[in-house]
Chain A
Amino acid sequence: MSDMTLRQWLLTDEPTSRRHARLSSLYKGWLTLRSNSMAMVGLAILVGLVLTAVFASIIAPHDPFVQDLSSRLLPIGAEGHLLGTDSLGRDILSRLIYGARITLYIVALVALIAPVAGLLVGTVAGYAGGWADVILMRITDIFLAFPRLVLALAFVAALGAGIENAVLAISLTAWPPYARMARAETLTIRSTDYINAIRLQGAGPLRIITRHIWPLCVSSLIVRVTLDMAGIILAAAGLGFLGLGAQPPSPEWGAMISEGRRFILDHWWVATVPGLAIFTVSLAFNLLGDGLRDALDPKDGGQ
């Protein structure tokens, strides 16, 4: 491969090793994603969010917790406070930047818990069928029957207010749709000839579920989770707004809106700016999710 560029090496139709085959298929997926400009906008915003969260202490012009009652409720563009200050004179921009950490924390934890739980329940129910299916799916139905925020409220009320409990509550209410989706996919995959073929090699249910069914469910789950992220951020913000999520003085975006609500008529920016941040990040997740749907479609085979 001396006279071969990296791009040619990655785009080959004749991979020479397992690693090569995997990298090549990843690269082709990336190219599909890259050709979708809206998805790239979403991705750029999210990368920006991650960088902001990581370097918050460097970027933020002020300490997000320091109160200065003499300069409270300064408008947008005020000297030294680009996005103004809130009712306690804290710099809104700095609070937003630190809030990115909390948002990411929530998103990451929920994204780890809910889809994994859903995938487990859904694929096992779908593949096993019979009683296991009935029991698992009825449990899923019970969770689905409650309005999401109400259920989360109940959990938080039982577990106590706080960001970890809010995440847990959101995850507990978020997994049933994933379980339903994973089950539906498993039902179609289960009857295909490639699953029959591996059964005829003597593979057991555990191997079939983890090695053969999961890889096919995961891509649609990722897409779905990305699209749901907006809802999750909003739910977290909602809990924060109701005072059941992140507790003051933590700069969680939902809690910030809640605090700004009192001044919304005279000092609109206090509630609007964190609202816009939530909106932007939610939109970014949706755009990325749409692009991922095209890039990850297993039926498409990366063509």
Chain B
Amino acid sequence: MNLLDIEDLWVRFPTRQGVFDAVRGVSFSLGRERLGIVGESGSGKSMTGRAILRLIRKPGIVEANHINLEGRDLLKLSEREMREVRGKQISMVMQDPKFSLNPVVTVGEQLIEAYLQHNSGSKARARKMAIEMLENVSIRDSERVMRTYPHEVSGGMGQRIMIAMMLIPNPKILIADEPTSALDVSVQRQVLNIMDGLVKERGMGLIFISHDLNLVSEFCDRVLIMYAGRIVEVCEADKLHQAQHPYTQGLLNSLPRLDEKCNHLSVLTRDPSWSEAPSVRG
């Protein structure tokens, strides 16, 4: 059975010039797999991720036939039940860990608190679990890291701490919104490998939102390509380079390559019909 089933999702923002549709009728389902969502800024990929958790702020509106989490429609839940879902069943990792961690509380205390929020048990046990979580995300001197404040750790370390924190309640689904784009390439790999290992080990579903096609094709099982609020193409991640849609091809071709020398990069010419075509089911 699918973990998550989304049917005809719309995200709308009323503006002075009329209603702006950020996501326009997107349907897809997620199993125990790594699903990538790629697209440029403004394609609606982040909005899709946020809409699942109902994190779209007013005056934005989320509409869908259903957003089913194992058969339970998230849109029908009360705000209180939704809070439960957000922590326990679906977790989200954002782009910049600096904004997601409390700057005046040590990493250790935040991890312990996160544990105690979802599990009962003594503080000593929570502390043990927190250290174990840090070791799970390959942080070796976990005792020291527990005592540091968020501003004292590097970007890669911060993101690993975030992942550790998000995985404490053992969610079924992890939504990662550009989790590595603020990091250096070498650190990027580490963080991705850690995330990959944990997701596989626990049989979780992962929604990986990114603008980086290469990253997604290497790291995910299946990829949705979004354009102007719709899914224009769905493909197996390892076959992304044989993608059919001219938009996907255009994006791939516009990247500079190390193995080919050229004077000018090919530029994407946008066809208005792309945004008119109905959304593909993913």
Contacts and interface: CB of A to CB of B under 8 A. Distances in A.
**Touch A–B, Cβ below 8 Å:** yes
Interface of A: 11, 28, 31
B186 interface: no
Q: Give the interface size class of chain B.
A: under 10
Interface in B152-188: none
Contacts of A31: 16
B273 interface: no
A258 B16 CA distance: 50
A31 B17 CA distance: 12
A160 B16 CA distance: 54
Nearest to A35: B16
Contacts of B17: 11
A28 B16 CA distance: 9
Contacts of B16: 11, 28, 31
A71 to B, nearest CB: 56
Interface in B6-29: 16-17
A28 B15 CA distance: 12
A79 to B, nearest CB: 52
A34 to B, nearest CB: 11
A90 B191 CA distance: 81
Interface string B83-111: 00000000000000000000000000000
A31 B16 CA distance: 9
A7 to B, nearest CB: 10
Interface in B60-101: none
Contacts of A11: 16-17
4 contacts: A11-B16, A11-B17, A28-B16, A31-B16
A11 B16 CA distance: 9
Contacts of A28: 16
Interface string B48-63: 0000000000000000
A241 to B, nearest CB: 45
Nearest to B17: A11
Nearest to B15: A303
Interface in B125-166: none
A31 B15 CA distance: 12
Interface in B191-245: none
A189 B127 CA distance: 43
Shortest 3 CB-CB distances between A and B: which pairs?
Answer: A31-B16, A11-B16, A11-B17
A36 B222 CA distance: 46
A11 B18 CA distance: 12
A153 B17 CA distance: 53
A25 to B, nearest CB: 13
B42 to A, nearest CB: 14
A220 B33 CA distance: 50
